[in-house]
């Protein structure tokens, strides 16, 4: 059973539009949740990390929320640019002692002109 489920699997938007990516998980314990961006053929780059119940973060045009009760996170991208085309990966950290992480399969975002 997939422990970190991301939706949608893929998404196409027009430049300038906003979009929302979802992440639902069943991992326990859930110490933190991090969103990564992966450009094609590149490594993962961290966008934001959420730690506390009902955490909200903002990093430029990226903002994220975490609801630990519902085990659900969202990543909002505002006013998308062509360079936002990438795979966005949700990762749940179990606890800091072991460093164990569970990765989602990713959402492939394509931004068209």
Q: Tokens for 43?
A: 């490594």
Residue 60 interacts with another protein (CB under 8 A): yes or no? no
Smaller CB separation from another protein, 11 or 101 = 101
Q: How far is the CB of 113 from another protein (least distance, A)?
A: 25
Residue 101 interacts with another protein (CB under 8 A): yes or no? yes
Q: How far is the CB of 109 from another protein (least distance, A)?
A: 14
Whether the CB-CB separation of 6 and 87 falls below 8 Å is answered with no
Q: Which of 21, 30, 32, 47 binds another protein (CB under 8 A)?
A: 32
- Point out which residues bind another protein (CB under 8 A): 4, 9, 31-32, 34, 41-46, 49, 89, 93, 96-99, 101-106
């Amino acid at each position: 059973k997939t422990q970190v489920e991301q939706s949608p699997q893929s998404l196409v938007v027009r430049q300038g539009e906003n979009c929302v990516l979802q992440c639902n998980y069943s991992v326990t314990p859930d110490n933190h949740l991090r969103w990564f961006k992966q450009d094609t053929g590149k490594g993962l780059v961290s966008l934001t990390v959420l730690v506390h119940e009902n955490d909200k973060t903002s990093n430029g045009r990226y903002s994220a929320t975490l609801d630990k009760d519902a085990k659900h996170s969202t990543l909002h991208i505002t006013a998308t640019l062509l360079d936002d085309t990438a795979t966005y990966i949700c990762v749940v950290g179990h606890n800091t002692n072991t460093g164990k992480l569970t990765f989602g399969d990713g959402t492939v975002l394509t931004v068209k002109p």
